Structure 1
Amino acid sequence: MRRFKRIIVIVLHSVGIGATADPGEFGDQGADTLGHVCQYWQGTLKLPTLTRLGLGNIPRESPLMGVSAVKPLTSQVGKMKPASADIDSLNGHWELMGTFVNPPLDTFPNGFPLPLINRIETFSNRKVLLNRPASVIAALKGFGEQESKEGDLIVYSSNDSVLQVSANEAVVSVNELYRICRYIRFMVDESRLRIGRIIARPFVGESPSDFKLTNNRQDLTIVPPTDTALELLTERHVPVAGIGSLIDLFSGRGITTQFDSRESNFKQLLEAVKTQVTGLVFADLGSLDEAGHARNPRGYGLALMQIDSQLNKIMTQLTPTDLMMITADQGNDPTYSGTGHTREYVPLIAASPNANGGQLGIRSTLSDLGATILSNFKIHNQLPGTSFLDQIS
Structure 2
Amino acid sequence: MNRVFIMLLDSFGIGSCKDSNQFGDEGANTFGHVNESCFLGLANCNRNGNLYIPNLTALGLGKLIYELTKIYPVGLNRYENTIGSYAYASPISMDKDTLSGHLEIMGIPSFKPWDKFIEKKNSLPESLVNHIIKESNIDGILGNCHASGTTIIQKFFEEHIQTNKPIFYTSSDSVVQIACHETVFGLNNLYCLSSIVRKILDKRKYNIGRVIARPFIGNSIKNIKRTNNRKDFSVVPSEINVMEKLIIEKQGEVIGIGKITDIFSGVGITKTIVANGLSDLLEKTTYAIKISKKNSIVFTNFSDFDSLWGHRRDVSGYAQGLEFFDLKLLDIINQITDSDLLIVTADHGCDPTWKGFDHTREFIPILLYSPIFSSKFLGYRNSFSDIAQTIAHFFSLSNMKYGKSMINENTKCY
* TM-score category, normalised to shorter length: over 0.9
Q: Which residue of 1 aligns with 2:42?
A: none
Structure 2 CA distance, aligned partners of 1:258 and 1:343?
29
- Superposition map of 1:32-71 within 5 A: 32-42=29-39, 43-58=49-64, 59-61=67-69, 62-71=71-80
Cα offset, 1:325, TM superposition: 0.7
Deviation string 1:33-58 (CA, Å, 9 cap, x unpaired) is: 00111122225222222122221111
Cα offset, 1:143, TM superposition: 2.6
- Cα 1:252–1:294, aligned 2, differ >3 Å: closer, same or farther? same
Q: Which residue of 2 aligns with 1:284?
A: 301
Question: Does the 8 Å contact 2:247/2:254 carry over to 1?
Answer: yes
3-state SS in 1 of match to 2:402:
coil
> In the alignment, does 2:130 pair up with 1:115?
no
- Cα 1:227–1:354, aligned 2, differ >3 Å: closer, same or farther? closer
Q: Which residue of 2 aligns with 1:270?
A: 286
Q: Which residue of 2 aligns with 1:250?
A: 264
Cα offset, 1:146, TM superposition: 3.2
Structure 1 CA distance, aligned partners of 2:323 and 2:247?
34
Q: Which residue of 1 aligns with 2:105?
A: 96
Structure 1 CA distance, aligned partners of 2:68 and 2:109?
27
Question: Does the 8 Å contact 2:388/2:400 carry over to 1?
Answer: no
> In the alignment, does 2:191 pair up with 1:146?
no
- Superposition map of 1:275-354 within 5 A: 275-278=291-294, 279-290=296-307, 291-353=309-371
> In the alignment, does 2:10 pair up with 1:13?
yes
> In the alignment, does 2:23 pair up with 1:26?
yes
3-state SS in 2 of match to 1:18:
coil
Question: Does the 8 Å contact 1:85/1:102 carry over to 2?
Answer: yes
- Given residue 275 of structure 1, which amino acid in structure 2 is its aligned partner? I
Structure 2 CA distance, aligned partners of 1:383 and 1:114?
40
Question: Does the 8 Å contact 2:286/2:332 carry over to 1?
Answer: yes
3-state SS in 2 of match to 1:171:
helix
Of 51, 69, 77, which aligns to 2:86?
77
Q: Which residue of 1 aligns with 2:374?
A: 356
Gaps of 5+ in 1: none
Structure 1 CA distance, aligned partners of 2:81 and 2:316?
31
Structure 2 CA distance, aligned partners of 1:303 and 1:211?
23
Cα offset, 1:337, TM superposition: 1.0
- Cα 1:109–1:63, aligned 2, differ >3 Å: closer, same or farther? farther
3-state SS in 2 of match to 1:248:
helix
Question: Does the 8 Å contact 1:95/1:367 carry over to 2?
Answer: yes
- Cα 1:71–1:225, aligned 2, differ >3 Å: closer, same or farther? same
Structure 2 CA distance, aligned partners of 1:299 and 1:287?
9
Deviation string 1:279-318 (CA, Å, 9 cap, x unpaired) is: 2111112211112111221222222222222212212222
Identity across the alignment (%): 35
Q: Which stretch shifts more, 17-26 or 133-142?
A: 133-142
Q: Which residue of 2 aligns with 1:130?
A: 143
3-state SS in 2 of match to 1:201:
strand
Give TM-score scaled by structure 1 length: 0.94
Structure 2 CA distance, aligned partners of 1:265 and 1:22?
33
> In the alignment, does 2:226 pair up with 1:193?
no
- Given residue 11 of structure 2, which amino acid in structure 1 is its aligned partner? S
Cα offset, 1:220, TM superposition: 0.7
Structure 1 CA distance, aligned partners of 2:147 and 2:74?
31
Deviation string 1:353-382 (CA, Å, 9 cap, x unpaired) is: 354211011111000001000001111224
Question: Does the 8 Å contact 2:257/2:281 carry over to 1?
Answer: yes
Q: Which stretch shifts more, 65-74 or 296-305?
A: 65-74
3-state SS in 2 of match to 1:173:
helix
Question: Does the 8 Å contact 1:37/1:300 carry over to 2?
Answer: yes
Q: Which stretch shifts more, 125-134 or 221-230?
A: 125-134
The number of residue pairs the alignment matches comes to: 390
Question: Does the 8 Å contact 1:97/1:230 carry over to 2?
Answer: yes
3-state SS in 1 of match to 2:87:
strand
Give TM-score scaled by structure 2 length: 0.89
Deviation string 1:207-259 (CA, Å, 9 cap, x unpaired) is: 33322221211111111111111111110112211112121111111111222
- Cα 1:67–1:147, aligned 2, differ >3 Å: closer, same or farther? farther
Structure 2 CA distance, aligned partners of 1:350 and 1:225?
28
Structure 1 CA distance, aligned partners of 2:103 and 2:256?
14
Q: Which residue of 1 aligns with 2:384?
A: 366
- Cα 1:353–1:103, aligned 2, differ >3 Å: closer, same or farther? same
Question: Does the 8 Å contact 2:282/2:328 carry over to 1?
Answer: yes
- Cα 1:277–1:331, aligned 2, differ >3 Å: closer, same or farther? same
Q: Which residue of 2 aligns with 1:210?
A: 223
3-state SS in 1 of match to 2:378:
strand
Question: Does the 8 Å contact 1:272/1:281 carry over to 2?
Answer: yes
Deviation string 1:12-43 (CA, Å, 9 cap, x unpaired) is: 10000000011111111101000111122225
